[in-house]
Amino acid sequence: MFESLQALPEDPILGLMAAFRADTASRKIDLGVGVYKDEHGKTPVLAAVRAAEQAVLADQQTKTYVGPAGNEQFNALMTELILGNKHTALTSRRVRAVQAPGGCGALRLGAELLIATGSRPTVHVSDPTWANHVPLLSNAGLKLEPYPYFDARTGTVRFDAMLERLNALPAGDVVLLHGCCHNPTGADLSLDQWRKVADVVLARRLIPYVDIAYQGLGEGIEADAEGARLIAATVPEALVAVSCSKNFGLYRERVGLLMVLTETETQATASASHLRKIARGIYSMPPDHGAAIVARILSDAKLNADWRNELDAMRNRMLKLRHTFAAALSKTCNAEVGNAIDKQRGMFSMLPLKPEAVDTLREQNHIYMTRDGRINIAGISLESIDYLAEAVGSVFGR
């Protein structure tokens, strides 16, 4: 049976990881993998996470199943973290949430729920978007189409072109929106732009699907959720996929959440029943450990405060790196490139480099990034900025 299978090409990012590990150069920089790193290149366990984990293990009396919907305390607390505890969608009981295996699992659950409606809508994703959006959604059977989003020359959002495209979409289609810290570009919508998008989505009767994977790493916990909150307050129906990998540092624990907003409480209850059935048919039940840690942090005043302080420190470190790197690029490339990097937010930005220039950086300077020029800002160190900026300047414009 399996002799007909041919080896597939390596995933670009996973292949980049392997190449970086195999590189024996004494000076090398990994800007490819999307994880937070400290000044020493390590991805630490947050102190609040470590304390919560110890408390969870001390209190845990069983390892029995948690059920297809997962940890209900986690679901409730994360829903409040995203929407705020007094959001109209919550007070009207039109929101339901299920735990999922990471943000990826949440995105796939949402795709399967769209299929379950029988409508098979087209999903419109930003150009560019996170690479894994495509297989996660299309492998469920959904058709994907791009909408204009990023101007690589200026490093800004092509908002007029984006709005024009959304205004032309048929009712019932789905629009995937990055809640904050756009991956891969770092170019986010302003709150005023979110309002205009929400108005168009409502008028055109589109379904917004918000993917929020970096809450707290852009402008702050509350500010980063404003777009999702505005959408949920404006439209009758929406999906929101959430990841706890980055802001809690729980990458390998696979902690995610899918929220569904419907027009009525009855529809919300029906949707949740379908989500539980879908989850049961794919992976049965989500892993509990990471969700229990998040629930402990969010329900404990001291742990919650400690986590928020650590998250602030992570965000401020990346902002400092971004500002310093932008200033260096203004000298080695040009001011336009530097200004764009400086204004963007989150873990990622895209350097305006051709694939061949990226290859040169890897081969000659041992600097690793994806061939579209996406870089992980957290992969930079203050010590490496001048070297990195000079190397980028040497291939800029080629």
The amino acid occupying position 85 is N
Contact 200, 163 (CB under 8 A): yes
Verify whether residue 224 is a known catalytic residue.
Answer: no
Of the residues 211, 224, 288, 342, only one is catalytic, namely 211
Catalytic residue among 51, 97, 100, 213: 213
Catalytic-labelled residue, pool 51, 52, 106, 130: 130
Active site residue 246: yes
Peptide bond connecting 148 to the previous residue in cis, omega within 30 degrees of 0: no
Catalytic position from the list 106, 246, 306, 357: 246
Please confirm, yes or no, whether 213 is among the known catalytic residues: yes
Catalytic residue IDs: 130, 211, 213, 246
